[in-house]
């Protein structure tokens, strides 16, 4: 089966039951991150930019309510999700799919007045296939390490071609346009100097939406090399039999995945040895090269999310890392900042050899009472081999969405999302994403999505 055949011919009935449910989990997790991230300065800037520069009435800005074009909504909502590094990812892409895929899909569906819940889940499953494989193909065919927006663009364009009913030739052009215009930005530049450009996810979503409407109008752009190069054919050969959505990890913390093994190793030492944070003289982390470059001592949330020393210190001082720890509360905590300055990183070849299939770290802790502790080699939590149970994913959603729109809103949204496999319309979910605490105060007490007429 060709990738384009897979995009157009796969139906809801073709999806294994666990794939359908994983699509629900990924949808819920991604939306929760986006709602929490709507409170960041990055989100406000990009939403205002979309309203000013991408005017229209096709789709809504999340936790905002303003209407913009589909490309503007994909850009702003995708970058909003990317503003909080808590969304799912895939080991071999060394990046993410859902953070751009889901806002791109929602923007297209709203633009097309399309709200079939089963189709939405089918598109999510297909999109993770295209995005994951395109990311792996890109890494296999180029030397530089690019951001997730590069492969997100192809996934969004593929889903857009399906929803607009493009023929196979038009779909090929759309995916080619998306690959050509997708943001092949340098990921490690943002690791070394963290800023709001993040992982290029929103820009990739925008490029994918734009590509499908251009192809619909006759614009050409084929071929997409990462999909059509015969040398990369093995990556695409088991479409429909191996489901990449099963291979996604879900993050427990809103920091770079590469820092999370070090966080778990540090917490294991503290919990296993009865360590009080005030007893910690210093911490040394052994890990892989890419994680060892997460060295910033932060003054803003972008730096905090890409700082291994800060993540380790925040977890040590507070027992976990949540939204508060990577925003104002944590950034102004002198205890965390002081300990972060005493966290060092050492690159180790065994850790490099295991990356990217495994992300590993070991923590060494010197205490004021003279003890020197060493952790086991540690993996992050939430990997697909040891996937979080549903209740953990649902609670994460409540923890992220509840403080913004209210616990009752979060619980009711979650119930509606969990019912998506039964069919019906997801229009109430899409409409609910536009609610704000300011103009819909009742939304903090009940799930009352506005009727928008956009699906």
The pLDDT value given to residue 235: 98
**Does 388 score more than 50 pLDDT?**
yes
Bridge partner residues of 343 (DSSP): 283
Q: How far apart are CA 147 and CA 96, in angstroms?
A: 9
In the predicted structure, residue 51 carries a pLDDT above the cut 80: yes
Q: Which of 108, 214, 84 is nearest to 156 (CA)?
A: 108
Average of per-residue pLDDT across 54-79: 98
Q: Which residues contact 162 (CB under 8 A, 6 or more apart)?
A: 7, 8, 123, 126, 171
- What's the pLDDT score for residue 166? 98
SS3 363: strand
Q: What is the CA radius of gyration of the chain?
A: 21
Domain range summary for the chain, segments of one domain joined by +: 3-249, 257-381
Decide if pLDDT at 135 tops 50. Answer: yes
Is the per-residue pLDDT at 219 higher than 90?
yes
pLDDT of residue 439 exceeding 90, the answer is no
The CATH code of the domain at 3-249 is 1.10.4100.10
Q: Which two tokens stand for residue 224?
A: 């997409």
Average the pLDDT over 205-224 and give the result.
98
Over range 182-204, report the average pLDDT.
Answer: 96
Predicted local distance difference test score (pLDDT) of residue 455: 32
In terms of DSSP H, where are the helices of 319-423? 328-331, 334-340, 349-354, 390-405, 407-418
What residue has token string 């930019």? 49
Mean pLDDT of the chain: 95
Distance of CA 232 to the CA centre of its chain: 25
What is the homologous superfamily of the domain 257-381 according to CATH? 2-methylcitrate dehydratase PrpD (3.30.1330.120)
**Torsions phi, psi of 417, nearest 5?**
-65, -40
Q: What is the DSSP letter of 212?
A: H
Non-local (6+) Cβ contacts of 280 within 8 A are: 316, 339, 342, 365, 366, 367, 368
Sign of the alpha-carbon dihedral angle for 227, 229, 233, 234: negative
Residue 241 DSSP SS3: coil
Crossing angle of helices 70-82/41-53, nearest 10°? Answer: 170
State pLDDT tens for residues 362-372: 999 999 999 99
Q: Which string of DSSP letters, residue by residue, matches 157-193?
A: HHHHHHHHT--HHHHHHHHHHHHHHS---BHHHHHHS
Q: Under a CB-based contact definition with an 8 Å cutoff, are residues 148 and 257 in contact?
A: no
Q: Give tens-digit pLDDT for 278-311.
A: 999 999 999 999 999 999 999 999 999 999 999 9
Q: Taking CA 82 as the corner, what is the angle to CA 81 and CA 83, rounded to the nearest 5 degrees?
A: 90
Under the banding of pLDDT at 50, 70 and 90, the label for residue 423 is very high
In the numeric block, which tokens belong to residue 384?
A: 């697909």
Q: What is the three-class DSSP state of 261?
A: helix
**pLDDT at position 444:** 46
| pLDDT surpasses 90 at 437 | no
Percent of the chain's residues with pLDDT above 70? 96
Q: HSE (CB half, 13 Å, CA atoms) of 450?
A: 17
DSSP string, 143-158: SS-B-THHHHHHHHHH
| pLDDT at residue 454 is higher than 80 | no
CB 309 within 8 A of CB 297: yes
């Amino acid at each position: 089966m060709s990738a384009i055949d897979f995009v157009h011919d796969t139906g809801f009935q073709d999806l294994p039951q666990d794939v359908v449910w994983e699509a629900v989990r990924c949808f819920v997790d991604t939306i929760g991150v986006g709602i929490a991230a709507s409170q960041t300065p990055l989100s406000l800037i990009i939403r205002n930019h979309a309203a000013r520069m991408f005017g229209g009435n096709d789709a809504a800005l999340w936790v905002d309510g303003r209407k913009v074009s589909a490309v503007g909504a994909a850009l702003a909502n995708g970058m909003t999700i990317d503003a909080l590094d808590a969304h799912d990812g895939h080991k071999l892409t060394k990046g993410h799919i859902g953070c751009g895929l889901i806002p791109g899909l929602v923007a297209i569906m709203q633009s097309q007045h399309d709200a079939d819940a089963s189709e939405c889940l089918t598109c999510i499953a297909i999109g993770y296939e295209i995005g994951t494989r395109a990311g792996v193909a890109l890494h296999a065919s180029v030397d530089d390490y690019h951001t997730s927006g590069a492969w997100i663009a192809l996934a969004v364009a593929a889903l857009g071609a399906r929803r607009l009913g493009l023929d196979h030739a038009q779909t090929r052009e759309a995916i080619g346009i998306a690959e050509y215009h997708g943001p092949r930005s340098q990921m490690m530049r943002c690791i070394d100097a963290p800023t709001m450009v993040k992982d290029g996810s929103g820009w990739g979503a925008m490029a994918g939406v734009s590509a499908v409407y251009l192809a619909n109008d006759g614009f050409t752009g084929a071929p997409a090399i990462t999909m059509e190069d015969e040398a990369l054919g093995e990556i695409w050969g088991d479409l429909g039999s191996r489901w990449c959505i099963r291979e996604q990890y879900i993050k427990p913390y809103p920091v770079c995945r590469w820092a999370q093994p070090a966080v778990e190793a540090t917490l294991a030492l503290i919990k296993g040895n009865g360590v009080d944070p005030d007893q910690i003289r210093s911490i040394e982390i052994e890990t892989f090269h890419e994680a060892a470059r997460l060295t910033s001592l932060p003054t803003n949330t972008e730096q905090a999310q890409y700082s291994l020393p800060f993540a380790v210190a925040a977890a040590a001082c507070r027992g976990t890392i949540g939204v508060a720890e990577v925003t104002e509360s944590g950034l102004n905590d002198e205890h965390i900042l002081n300990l972060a300055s005493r966290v060092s990183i050492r690159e180790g070849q065994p850790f490099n050899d295991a990356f990217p299939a495994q992300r590993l770290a070991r923590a060494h802790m010197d205490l004021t009472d003279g003890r020197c502790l060493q952790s086991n080699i540690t993996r992050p939590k939430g990997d697909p081999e040891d996937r979080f149970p549903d209740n953990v994913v649902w609670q994460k959603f409540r923890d992220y969405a509840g403080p913004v729109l209210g616990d009752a809103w979060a619980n009711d949204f979650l119930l509606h999302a969990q019912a998506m496999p039964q069919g019906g319309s997801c229009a109430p979910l899409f409409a609910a994403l536009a609610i704000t605490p300011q103009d819909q105060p009742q939304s903090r007490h009940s799930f009352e999505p506005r009727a928008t007429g956009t699906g």
